[in-house]
Amino acid sequence: MSSPLLGYVDREGPLHALSGVSKLALALGVVLGAMIGFDVRYLAAVAAGSLVLWAVSGVRLRDLSVVLWLITIFMVLNNIGIFLFAPGYGTELFGTRHLLLDGPWHWDVTSEQLFYQLAVTLKYFAVLPAVLLFVATTRPPEFASSLARLGVPYRFAYAVSLALRYIPDVQREFRTISQAQQARGLDTSRGAGLRTRVRNLSSVLMPLLLGTFDRIESVSAAMELRGFGRGRRRTWLVSTPVRGRDVLVMLIAVMLLAVPVALLVVNGGRYWNPFV
C-alpha cells in the first residue's frame, strides 16, 4: 500500500519509464506555459498533447475517476461563476461584441464570452492531465529527488517527502481521535449544529496537535542523529538516471515555456484575437 491516496498507478508504461526529473520538468513546463499563455491555439495544442500523452501512458480513466469527477464539477462551477459574474468580460477583452443570445439583464451570450470561456476551459484541459499523469506515473519517493535535481534546495524537497510519509499516519491518528471523542458524545458529524461542531472539533484538534508537536520533536532528533542537514548537498537513492528520451522531454518542456513567451510578442498581448 504505497499511498493509494496520491494516485500512483503501478503499471508498465512509457511515462513510468521516464526519469522523475524530466516528468516534473514537463509538468512544470505545461503548468507555467499555460499560466503565461492565453492563446487559444497554444492552449488547444497543449491540451491535445496532454490527452495524447494520457492515451499512451497506460493510465486508464477509471484509475483516476474520483479525481476527474471532482475536477469536472469544479470546472463547470467555475464556468458558471464566470458567466454569472462577468458575462461581458469577453467583449471587454476582445473589444468587439457578437451577440448570440439575448439573455435577461446583463446575461447576454456573446461569441467573445464563449471564446474567452473556451480559453479558460482549455487551460484546465492543458494543465490537469499533465499534473495528474505526473502523479500517476511517478513513485512518491522520486518526487523529492526530482525537485532537488531541478534545483530546489534539498531541505525543502525533503519536507515534501516527509509530508507524503506522514499523511497516512496523521490520517489514521485523526480518525482514531475523532472516533474516541465521538464515543464520549462530542459529535463532529453532520448531525450536530455548526456551533457545537466547531467547539467539539477543537477537542479533536487539540490531542492531534499535541501529538504532532511531540512527533516533530522525535522525528527531528532521529534525523539529526542520522546526519540530515550536515552537508550542502545530499544524494538520493530513488532517482532514475536521465537518458536520451529524458533530455528530449526536457527540451519539450523548455519549448512549452518559450512558445507562450514568443506568442506574447507576436500577438502583442496575452490573447490571440480572432474577432478583429
Residues 69-128 that bind another protein (CB under 8 A): 70-71, 74, 77, 81-82, 84-86, 89, 93, 120, 123-124, 127-128
Measured from the CB atom, is 109 or 131 closer to another protein? 131
Q: By rule CB under 8 A, what count of residues binds another protein?
A: 105
Which positions from 22 through 41 interact with another protein, judged by CB under 8 A? 31, 35, 38
Among 118, 152, 160, 252, binds another protein (CB under 8 A): 160
Task: Give me the torsion for CA of 152, 157, 159, 160, rounded to 10°.
Answer: 120
58 contacts another protein (rule: CB under 8 A): no
Among 104, 151, 193, 231, binds another protein (CB under 8 A): 231
Task: Give me the torsion for CA of 260, 263, 269, 270, rounded to 10°.
Answer: -30
CA neighbor of 204 nearest in space, from 235, 233, 177: 177
208 contacts another protein (rule: CB under 8 A): yes
**Least Å from the CB of residue 255 to another protein:** 20
Among 180, 251, 258, 262, binds another protein (CB under 8 A): 180
CB 136 within 8 A of CB 57: yes
Task: State how far the Cα of 115 lies from the Cα of 275, in Å rounded to an integer.
Answer: 10
Residue 56, CA atoms < 13 Å, CB-side half-sphere:
9
**Least Å from the CB of residue 81 to another protein:** 6
164 contacts another protein (rule: CB under 8 A): yes
What DSSP line would sit under 121-184, residue for residue? HHHHHHHHHHHHHHHHHS-HHHHHHHHHHTT--HHHHHHHHHHHHHHHHHHHHHHHHHHHHHHT
* Cα angle 147-259-272, degrees, rounded to a multiple of 5: 130
Measured from the CB atom, is 42 or 124 closer to another protein? 124
Which of these segments, 53-61, 98-106, 214-222, 260-268, binds another protein (CB under 8 A)?
A: 214-222
**Least Å from the CB of residue 93 to another protein:** 8
What binding mask, one character per residue, do residues 186-205 give for another protein by CB under 8 A, x or -?
Answer: xx--x---x--xx-xxxxxx
CA neighbor of 223 nearest in space, from 270, 154, 175: 154
242 contacts another protein (rule: CB under 8 A): no
